[in-house]
């Protein structure tokens, strides 16, 4: 698949089949992420791959965070119901990859650039998933930044989850989309000479 074709045709795919994804495909996607650019060649990305029962790590973290939030609001709540809902969120795809940033402690490294590098790694992964015939979606949201999520994935202080990449075989054909012409979003600054 041509890179420009992959860029134009890739879509966020939230509905995937409950079919296994091969380890070879997962490793190919991880390898694509590993080749993202990083300033000072710090390679600040970390990948936590969850399949099968391994997704319970994510489900339990989601549930603990939701229960904490429910406890802050008045009224009764059903813990089993909340846990079931969060379990379903973690099982929306046969593979979930938590992508985290582990910023370098070097004084010459800008922390913001470390996050940018990991975001580039995620984009590489999404393109690689598409090239492998898989659907993927980059999920985020407030629970992802909660300390309980960092604990669930064994992250050290200063490390942060930046993406939950859900992977699987798409249930439906990918939609065709269009974009506004790039010329409408571009300013050229050229020399006179």
Asked whether 48 and 56 are in contact (CB, 8 A), the reply is no
DSSP the chain: --HHHHHHH--B---B-S----HHHHHHHHHHHHTS--GGG---EEEEEEEGGGGHHHHHHHHHHHHHHHHHSSS---HHHHHHHHHHHHTSSSEEEEEEE-----TTS-HHHHHHHHHHHHHHHHHHHHHTT-EEEEE--GGGGSHHHHHHTTPPTT-EEEEEEEEE-BSSPPPP-----GGGG--------
Flag whether 138 is marked binding. yes
Flag whether 39 is marked binding. yes
Flag whether 139 is marked binding. yes
Flag whether 140 is marked binding. yes
Q: Could you count the other beta carbons within 10 Å of the beta carbon of residue 64? A: 19
Flag whether 22 is marked binding. no
Flag whether 12 is marked binding. yes
Which residues are documented as binding site for FMN? 10-12, 39, 138-140
Which residues are documented as binding site? 10-12, 39, 138-140
């Amino acid at each position: 698949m041509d890179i420009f074709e992959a860029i134009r045709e890739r879509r966020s795919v939230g509905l995937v089949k409950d079919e296994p994804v091969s380890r070879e495909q997962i490793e190919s996607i991880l390898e694509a992420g590993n080749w993202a650019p990083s300033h000072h060649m710090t390679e600040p990305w970390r990948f936590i791959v969850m399949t099968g029962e391994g997704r319970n790590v994510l489900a339990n973290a989601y549930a603990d965070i939701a229960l904490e939030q429910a406890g802050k609001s008045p009224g009764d709540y059903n813990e089993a119901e909340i846990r079931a809902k969060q379990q379903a969120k973690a099982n929306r795809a046969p593979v979930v990859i938590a992508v985290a940033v582990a910023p370098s402690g070097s004084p010459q490294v800008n922390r913001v650039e470390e996050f940018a590098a990991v975001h580039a790694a995620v984009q590489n992964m999404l393109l690689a998933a598409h090239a492998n015939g898989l659907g993927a979606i980059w999920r985020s949201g407030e629970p992802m930044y909660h300390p309980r999520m960092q604990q669930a994935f064994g992250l050290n202080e200063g490390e942060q989850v930046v993406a939950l990449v859900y992977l699987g075989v798409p249930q439906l054909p990918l939609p065709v989309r269009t974009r506004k012409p790039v010329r409408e979003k571009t300013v050229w600054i050229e020399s006179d000479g």
